[in-house]
Structure 1
């Protein structure tokens, strides 16, 4: 199946009953500025582009939101427990982007989309959520060109320091995406020097 536009990405999500049920479950939390992001979307796109009949197993489902009034990590764990009540057997991961900048020593984020823009890889910097009418909304701060062309590159913040470059390098080695999706091309830091 061809995927060439953001509308195509939205369409393949809307046609996937499991993805829609996951999005509806996340919406029930009524979190401010929430998105499901990263592998949830990237894997669906890459599975489709590779013609896979079965969904690639996800290590987790990343739900992010932005709430500077409550950055207690224990609250995130309670949200994960609520989601397990709605759909058990899913590895839910809920993170407030108002505190996540600390992980990589970045500037504080001002929204969840800014958090997504500061993910290590452009192909991971994607998010989807449901609007009031349950239509899928997509965000892609660095665009969808790389994910559609199966090209893994660092986001601009991960080109700025040796430490952030190393985080990107370690992640792409650890994830080993090309062992699952054989058409994927990984760009390593020497390409950016």
Structure 2
């Protein structure tokens, strides 16, 4: 990860302007989940909201937690974690989804029609979001939130959406990117070789 310290701090500060993100990061250690991170949409969409002059949490559908527990790959174990997460954050009035990255390969093909490798950490899952620039995560640390952004932060602040070569499922990417651009009209989509404004993909 090669992110300028000033930009990294700007991103963390922006993400924490969403009070839900701040609360989740404050409470996350209480769950004692292995390799746990707050990831993706609730972070970069907060930035897009601020750039668009909206409330930090406007239009954010859910808040995602990734963790990695290779000791139990069952759906039941993941559901039990999800129930603990919802109980801990029930007062926030938001949807929080917890996904065990150790088991994604067991269900991905059935849901999305593509093979998915067995992962070795939660960060391996963060690396594989369909839109490259949205591969971002925060984790509580002793000196404040720890940032993970394997592809940098520039694309988020520039409003450029591009497919992730590590998980290049183009139809899925275009569907997700078009949804983002429909909700935040200033974004620009690329299909790998061409760039398109708005939703005209």
TM-score (norm 1): 0.84
> What root-mean-square deviation, in Å, do the aligned CA atoms of Structure 1 and Structure 2 show?
2.1
Q: Does 1:183 align with 2:183?
A: no
Paired residues in the alignment total 182
Give the corresponding residue for 1:36: 38
In 1, are the aligned partners of 2:35 and 2:67 still within 8 Å (CA)?
A: yes
2-side partners of 1:149 and 1:41: how far apart? Answer: 15
User: Where do residues 67-78 of structure 1 align in structure 2 (5 Å cutoff)?
Assistant: 67-78=69-80
Which residue of 1 is the match for residue 100 of structure 2?
Answer: 96
Structure 2 SS opposite 1:101: helix
CA contact (8 A) 1:101 1:115 kept: no
What secondary structure is seen at the aligned counterpart in 1 of 2:138?
Answer: strand
Shift of residue 13, structure 1, vs aligned partner: 3.0
- Contact residue 131 and residue 162 of structure 2 kept, 8 A: yes
Q: Show structure 1 runs of 5+ residues with no match.
A: none
1:112 aligned to 2:111? no
Matched residue of 1:28: which SS? helix
CA shift for structure 1 position 128 = 0.7
Provide, for residues 14-38 of structure 1, a one-character-per-residue CA deviation record: whole Å limited to 9, x for no partner.
4543321121233321111111111
Query: For residues 121-176 of structure 1, what are the alpha-carbon distances to aligned partners after superposition, in whole Å with 9 as ceiling and x for unaligned?
Result: 12331111101x361111011111111111111111233xxxx2222123223xx2
Residue 150 (structure 2) pairs with residue 145 (structure 1) = no
The Cα offsets for residues 26-58 of structure 1, whole Å up to 9 and x where unpaired, read as 332111111111111111111112222352232
Matches within 5 A, 1:121-160: 121-131=131-141, 133=142, 135-159=144-168
Cα pair 1:38 1:125 within 8 Å, conserved: yes
| Closer/same/farther in 2, CA of residues 134 and 60 from structure 1, 3 Å limit | farther
Please state if 1:171 is matched with 2:161. no
Q: Which runs of 5+ in 2 are unaligned?
A: 1-5, 109-113, 196-201
**Structure 1 residues 115-124 or 48-57, which shifts more?**
48-57
Alpha-carbon spacing, 1:180–1:166, altered in 2? closer, same or farther (3 Å): closer
Equivalent runs, 1:44-55 vs 2, <5 Å: 44-53=46-55, 55=57
